[in-house]
Structure 1
Amino acid sequence: MSHNEGLDIQELYKTLWKGKKIIVIFFIVFSFIGGAYSFYSQNLWNSSAIVYKSNDKNFINLKMQLSNLYLVLDNDNGKSNKIIDTDEIFNVFIKEFSSNKNKIKFILSNDILSKYKNKFSNDDAFVNYWVSKIKEQQSGNPKKAILYFQTENKKDSVALLNEYIKFINSIVTKKIINNVEDILKEHKATIDTNIKYLTKIAKEKINIALKKTQIELKIALAAGVKSPILLNDNNRLFSIQLGSKGLIEQENILRTMKDFNLFEPQLGIEKEKLKLLEDIDVNNINFNVNTVKVLIKSAPVNSKSISKRLFMSLVSAFIGILIGMLYVLVKNLYIRVSNEN
């Protein structure tokens, strides 16, 4: 180090030492500003909950109300399992929770969030901000997920997370009921088609039996057989065993026959199935999805931790020292230049 450089450093040190009071003042002011900002700045709270896939026990009440439907589908396990698919219901819940459409609807209708609205310049800014505060994270386990709701205080954070879960549960419940209604409509339509088809077949059988009876009546009248007789040959196409009197009565019965079940027994079974399904009133189904959830915690966001606040205060203090030193040096330079002039 040269002699001149040594003098320059000594002069710099003397200048800063003379202005030490000013530097201390800047240090104190900036330390106070940094500390106040870190302490009073708005703290964000994050509430999180784990939700689990519901088991079949949670749907016992619904299954009891749909017992008629299960009875109709008793021999078709594939269709029975589609009525309440717990895996699908859980996937629907996660999908609806993450849906921006549902988030926006909830945000615009929620009383708690409405008090924050005046902090934003417009509705779009308000909605976009809160949409970003509702999050879902996959846990790696297909049977559970972690849900988050971030707000400016602990109480609101917990309340809003619970209310949003309840809001999504109501949407999922409606989807389940709609699915049941679709299944009912589908099977009613299928059974109704079967009834129409079997009725047509029964009528055709009655018509054939009527024509056969008319021919047998002609034969019986021609043969003079009025009363029933015993014939050993039952393999003939036309039989006059009933005699003309019996055949006349049989013809009258066939003409007025309304009970088609005698000719198509399956028709009666299909009608009973339809009656069972019609007894189910979807509008009166009393059921609500209650997602199995466990509240993990409600804690400040990491950016507002104590260590972070201390760091912000130290940085402010350091900036204060630098600005104080710069102020002293600039002031000294200004005085020197003024004296030289």
Structure 2
Amino acid sequence: MPFSGVHVSQPQPPTQHSTEQATVHPHYYYPQQQEDEIDLRELFAALWQGKWIIIACTLVCTVLAIVYALIAKEQWSSTAKIAQPQVSDYSEYQNQVMQFQPIFDVYQDDGTVLVSNALQGLTQANSLYRLFIDEFNSSSNKKAFLETSPVFQKDKDLLDDSSNEDSVRKLYYDWYKLLSIKPEDAKQLNSTYVMTASAETSQDSFDMLKSYIQFIDEKVHRKVINNLVATISSKENELHQQSIMLTKQAQQRLIVEKERSEYALTIAQAAGVTKPLQNFGDKELFAINLGSDALKAKVEALSKVKNLSVIEPRLEQLNSKLEQIEKLKINDGIRFSAYSYLEQPEKMVFRDKPKRAVITFFGLLLGGGIGIVFVMCRFVFTRKK
């Protein structure tokens, strides 16, 4: 019996899927391309569309690079190669030094000679070579040379404010680096060295290198001669002091010996001893055993002594050395070299900088890179919009 207001749903049979519906297999599924992924074909197409931008950037950067390479300050270098001096390079100087060798040697009473090595350091090839290298590297020498160099003065006149000490100091520092001497092999400090001078033109660098080498040669020459003069002068003062000391000692010995002889003469005359005594001791304070006649002659002889070398034989050797120093003169006009040339100063065929071909090539690469990056960025932003 049906109830009013109540709807009773009838059970429905289960819905059957049509056997004709197609079954979707996994290998027929293709994932859709994400929106933020870039197709290479689109990218190359965008680059092709922006080719004129890339070409324009490349041309602009290349032209700017060429202009810079043409107007940039040029630098040319001249070089020379040196090694330790041979004996023939400083033989004159060595001969002059060795003539003073006897003054430094010690002559002993038994005839042997003790050879002094005080002068050896002045004539060693290595010492002369190191002196030249040190003088070449000296900043004070470089500054003194640059102050007389017309090439440097021309550059100094171009300073905006020549009264600015910092600017002038920086200019000097930059030029110091243009005058250099470096070992060809960093591990062999006494081997071959390469001297380099750089300037705006090949001729200027060549002239500067030759002038600076000559400038340093003169410095080394003066210093070597001054060292020799100082060494000889020091030895001369030493000999003078020894001579003064030995002279005073000889004078005192002469006075003492004369007084002893006078006392002995007085005693001998009082004792009536006129002739030498054979069996009288000779170790007495007053040698009366000589007899008054001999003592009188001795006193007269001591009174006439003028050459104190008779009393102190070493004075003769000292005086001989001092006389030799007076006779030997140091010739400061001798010529010698503290190095030996392996390669004379030469002009460079190619400049150091600017490397115009390299600058132009990098300008081309930079321009192309800037153009490509710009086109790619524009493509990415346009695609996102």
TM-score by length of 1: 0.76
Question: How much has 1:77 moved relative to structure 2?
Answer: 3.5
Where does residue 29 of structure 2 map in the other structure? none
| SS of 2:230 mapped into structure 1 | helix
The 5 Å alignment of 1:260-299 reads 260-282=308-330, 284-290=331-337, 291-293=339-341, 294-295=343-344, 298-299=347-348
Distance of 1:70 and 1:268 partners within structure 2: 18
Distance 1:106 1:31, change over 3 A: same
| % same residue | 18
Corresponding residue to 2:178 among 133, 157, 168: 133
Which residue does the alignment assign to 1:339? none
1:61 matches 2:92: yes
Amino acid at match of 1:88: S
- Note the C-alpha offset of 1:63: 3.0
Contact 2:276-2:289 within 8 A present in 1 as well: no
Match of 1:100 in 2: 139
- Distance of 2:44 and 2:235 partners within structure 1: 98
CA displacement 1:50-79 (0-9 Å, x = unmatched) = 222224433321233334421212433321
Tell me the distance in 2 between the aligned counterparts of 1:301 and 1:164.
Answer: 20
Structure with greater helix percent: 1
**Paired residue for 1:162?**
210
- Aligned partner of 2:120 in structure 1 is 81
8 Å CA contact 2:265, 2:288 repeated in 1: no
Distance 1:11 1:55, change over 3 A: closer
Q: What per-residue deviation string (whole Å, max 9, x for no partner) do you get for residues 65-99 of structure 1?
A: 33442121243332131332332332232222222
More moved, 76-85 vs 153-162: 76-85
The farther-off stretch of 162-171 and 259-268 is 162-171
Deviation, structure 1 residue 147: 2.3
Is the CA contact (8 Å cut-off) linking 1:31 and 1:320 kept in structure 2?
no
Superposed counterparts of 1:187-266, under 5 Å: 187-222=235-270, 224=272, 229=275, 232-233=278-279, 235-236=281-282, 237=284, 238-239=287-288, 241=290, 243-244=292-293, 246-266=294-314
Take 1:152 and 1:11, find their aligned partners in 2: how far apart are those partners? 49
In the aligned structure 2, how far is the partner of 1:72 from the partner of 1:9? 93
1:180 CA drift (Å): 1.7
Larger Rg: 2
In the alignment of these two chains, the number of paired residues is 321
Distance in 2 separating the partners of 1:10 and 1:71:
92
Aligned counterpart, 2:103: 72
What are the Cα deviations for residues 29-51 of structure 1, in whole angstroms up to 9, with x where unaligned?
65444334324533311222222
List runs of 5+ in structure 2 lacking aligned partners: 1-32, 106-113, 163-167
1:318 aligns with 2:318: no
Query: Does the 8 Å contact 1:38/1:313 carry over to 2?
Result: no
8 Å Cα contact 1:54-1:90 kept in structure 2 = yes
**Matches of 1:114 and 1:212 in 2, distance apart?**
80
Distance 1:296 1:161, change over 3 A: closer
Normalised TM-score (structure 2): 0.69
Structure 1 residue 154: deviation in Å? 1.3
> Which residue is 1:337 aligned to?
none
CA distance in structure 2 between the aligned counterparts of 1:268 and 1:203, rounded to whole angstroms: 15
